[in-house]
Amino acid sequence: MTVLDCVGLSCPIPVVKTKKALKEHPEGLEVLVDNVAAKENVSRFGKTMGYTVSVSDEAEGVWRVGMSK
């Protein structure tokens, strides 16, 4: 599974990068984010695009948003 590191990036950059990465990896990917807004926005985008979305704590203050078909 491809991992996209968006730690340290503010919205809308994580969503823009996720959109681009999904074009290259339509089977799905995992996105690392470190703020609540990015976690919620990336999750919402994934669901809108028809992916099954899961969110887990990766480390303190970092979430892993998984998207799969």
Q: Which of 7, 9, 11, 55 is catalytic?
A: 11
Asked if omega into 12 is within 30° of 0 (cis), the reply is yes
Residue pair 37/65 in contact (Cβ under 8 Å)? The answer is: no
Burial 30-46, CB ≥16 within 10 A → b, else e: bbbbbbeebbebbbebb
User: For this structure, is 6 an active site residue?
Assistant: no
Positions marked catalytic: 11
